[in-house]
């Protein structure tokens, strides 16, 4: 029902998750300045009038000062959704900046409800961090989407059950499930 205009502020990802396409993209990360992003967004909003922006970055606003500048430069909130990591959503000020800049929905790469699977993935995120992030986003009125992977090498039925329990506990508004599959070089 919404016309969502895709927009990218950054390219790459500096994290080391071992199932990701790092052999293709590497661990480089480059981001446009908040000033440039706001200027481009205002021009696109004026020209196309989308219902909202869909930030396509692998991880939106990796640096909290970038997000704060973005929020301040916007002038007024814009409707948008984005993807980020649970370990970035640990500070209530970061979540406040998301909400005050107009963020309506955040998708988190949750992947699993099992710390042992997350460790095997080199995800560098814990289930506790996922729970905290989900709570902060919910408290701020931001919808939550969770990306989940099933079938990661070494994952057991007990691990899958932990993921099921986490989803029932946190009740995200959206869930995207994929089956783990090897990418070249992973």
**Res. 24: pLDDT tops 90:** no
C-alpha 182/C-alpha 69 separation (Å) is: 38
Report phi then psi at 61, rounded to 5: 55, 60
pLDDT exceeds cutoff 90 at 77: yes
Give Dmax over CA atoms of the chain in angstroms. Answer: 51
**What average pLDDT does this structure show over 36-51?**
97
Burial class (CB in 10 A: 0-12, 13-18, 19+), 93: exposed
Q: What's the rounded Cα separation, in Å, for the pair 186 and 165?
A: 28
Q: What integer best gives the mean pLDDT of the chain?
A: 93
- Tell me: pLDDT of 21 over 90: no
Q: Going by C-beta distance under 8 Å and a sequence separation of 6 or more, which residues neighbour residue 139?
A: 95
The rounded Cα 95 to chain-centroid distance in angstroms is: 12
CB of 119 closer than 8 Å to CB of 148: no
pLDDT in tens, 158-170: 999 999 999 999 9
* Distance of alpha carbon 16 from alpha carbon 23, whole angstroms: 11
The two counts, helices (H) then strands (E), for the chain are: 7, 8
pLDDT of 152 = 94
Q: What is the pLDDT of residue 54?
A: 98
What CA–CA distance (Å, rounded) separates 177 from 67?
28
């Amino acid at each position: 029902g919404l016309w969502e205009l895709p927009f990218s502020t950054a390219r790459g990802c500096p994290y080391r998750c071992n199932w990701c396409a790092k052999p293709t993209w590497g661990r480089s990360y480059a981001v446009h300045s908040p000033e440039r992003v706001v200027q481009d967004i205002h021009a696109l909003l004026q020209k196309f009038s989308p219902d909202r922006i869909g930030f396509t970055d692998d991880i939106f606003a990796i640096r909290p000062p970038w997000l704060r500048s973005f929020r301040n430069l916007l002038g007024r909130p814009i409707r948008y959704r984005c993807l980020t990591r649970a370990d970035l959503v640990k500070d209530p000020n970061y979540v406040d900046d998301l909400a005050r800049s107009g963020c309506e929905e955040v998708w988190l790469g949750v992947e699993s409800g099992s710390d042992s699977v997350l460790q095997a993935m080199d995800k560098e995120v814990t289930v506790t961090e996922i729970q905290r992030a989900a709570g902060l986003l919910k408290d701020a009125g931001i919808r939550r989407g969770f990306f989940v992977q099933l079938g990661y090498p070494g994952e057991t039925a007990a691990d899958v059950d932990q993921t099921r329990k986490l989803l029932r506990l946190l009740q995200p508004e959206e869930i995207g499930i994929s089956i783990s599959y090897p990418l070249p070089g992973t």
